[in-house]
Amino acid sequence: MTPIRINAGNQSYEAVIGSRLLEKAGALLPPSLHESPCAIVSDENVAPLFAERVMGSLTSVGCQPALITVPPGEKSKTLREAEAISHRMSEAALDRSSFVVALGGGMVGDLAGFVAAIYHRGIPCVQMPTTLLAQVDSSVGGKTAVNTAEGKNMIGAWHHPALVIADVDALATLPAREWKQGFAEIIKHAVIRDAEMFEMLPQFDRKDLATLIRRNVLIKAAIVAADERETKGERALLNFGHTVGHAIERAGNFLDFRHGEAVSLGIVAACEISVRKAGLTETERERILTTLRAFDLPTRLPAEFPREKILEAIRFDKKFKRQQVRFVVTPAIGSASLVTDVTMEEIEAALEQL
């Protein structure tokens, strides 16, 4: 497929989507990165599957790759792990002429991108997402971050990748739970921007996977181009379902729910608030919930889940500004808006629906 050009402020880069791309990674790199030392940051689940072929491809264009792995899961997305990766990069004699490859899912992309943003005050990063969620969303847009005890993605930097390589063949290795959680971000994109895609999702055929990923990247690219640093309100629309979703992740200590699962629950809460505040009809809310369930995504919290911790976590969310929650609502499938008059009481009422 034709690469997608992503414009972000004064920068631009390409996202390449297709089959058998990891073994061609070296040839796809910008020529300026050829013959450069690099770190391939991956996790202990992904590296055995893909690292060897990526390393071979990078070596073929003169790069000198050093593989650095971290434990899988959100618990690795910390300042301590970022420091450990930086230390290993220094041990491998990587300098400001080097670059980082983020080979893995969203956690690896965020963590490796953050390291690239701070190492020698910033070196290039090539995103090679290997999960559906990362390919349709987190690998594009330049947000990098690590978590803290106070919340998710609380320390980060804007650092756009030099290139995104989305190899759809990598998705064949995904466990069912990882595969399904990617559809939370796809459904989010459809609800906020693409009613036609929403209509098509129940008939999704896996042979159309590359086309579906491309459609989602185009949505993200257009929003990023319009509001790179989330200063105009446009990019904030991508947070639909994330205010409550991030809080659920933190309340569950990043163990109970995967990101996409938490976003699915956040979408349910956002739909409840949208009915009250934005005029979303009960019929359309039910259509959204039915679509989430069709991809086996959660729409209810376990009875024993500590709901009070969700409200505590929301107060630490980055979208909490001047004591107001900037909340994304949808008045109808295919559109969204940002409001600032949602109260904690209304969020608490929405949580009761979970």
Query: Measured between alpha carbons, how far is 87 from 97 in angstroms, rounded to an integer?
Result: 16
pLDDT in tens, 176-222: 999 999 999 999 999 999 999 999 999 999 999 999 999 999 999 99
Q: How confident is the model at residue 224 (pLDDT cuts 50, 70, 90)?
A: very high
Query: What value, to the nearest 5°, has the Cα angle with vertex 247 and ends 302 and 339?
Result: 115
Q: What is the pLDDT of residue 251?
A: 94
Could you tell me the pTM of the whole model?
0.96
Phi-psi map region of 141: left, alpha, beta (phi>0 left; psi -120 to 50 alpha): left
Sequence-distant (6+) residues with CB within 8 A of 17 are: 1, 3, 4, 135, 166, 168, 210, 213, 214, 217
Q: Which residues contact 219 (CB under 8 A, 6 or more apart)?
A: 189, 193, 194
For the chain, the average pLDDT equals 95
CB distance 309 to 218 below 8 Å: no
Residue-wise pLDDT for 21-77, tens only, equals 999 999 999 999 999 999 999 999 999 999 999 999 999 999 999 999 999 999 999
Pairing of strands 64-70, 11-18: unpaired
Digit-coded pLDDT (tens) for 293-307: 999 999 999 999 998
Average of per-residue pLDDT across 87-115: 98
Sign for the CA dihedral angle at 47, 48, 52, 57 comes to: negative
Q: For residue 193, what pLDDT is reported?
A: 98
Domains, the chain: 4-173 (3.40.50.1970), 176-352 (1.20.1090.10)
- 25 SS3 class: helix
Q: Please give the C-alpha separations between residue 163 and each of 69, 113, 125, 142, in angstroms, as whole numbers.
A: 21, 12, 7, 11
Of the pLDDT bands very low, low, confident and very high (cuts 50, 70, 90), residue 317 is confident
Count of Cβ atoms closer than 10 Å to residue 117 Cβ: 21
d(CA 68, CA 58): 15
- Enter the tokens of residue 145: 């971050």
Angle among Cα 168, 65, 217 to the nearest 5 degrees reads 30
Contact, 47 vs 103, CB < 8 A? yes
- Count CB-CB contacts under 10 A for residue 323: 6
Q: In this predicted structure, what is the pLDDT of residue 325?
A: 80
Question: What gap in Å lies between CA 102 and CA 140, rounded to an integer?
Answer: 12
- What is the mean pLDDT of the segment spanning 81-110? 98
Report yes or no: 160 and 13 within 8 Å, Cβ to Cβ.
yes
pLDDT (average), residues 247-268:
95
Does residue 322 have a pLDDT over 60? Answer: no
Q: What is the pLDDT of residue 171?
A: 98
Q: Tens digits of per-residue pLDDT, 147-171?
A: 998 889 999 999 999 999 999 999 9
* pLDDT value of residue 196: 98
CB 48 within 8 A of CB 13: no
- Sole residue written with tokens 């969310």: 317
Look at residues 179, 188, 165, 312 and name the one whose alpha carbon lies nearest to residue 250: 312
pLDDT at 320 (0 to 100): 61
Q: Which residues of 33-51 are buried (b: 16+ CB within 10 A; e: fewer)?
A: beebbbbbbbbebbbeebb
Gap between the Cα atoms of 49 and 2, Å rounded: 26
State the CB neighbour count (10 A cutoff) for residue 19. Answer: 13
What's the chain's Rg over C-alpha atoms? 20
Average pLDDT over residues 263-278: 98
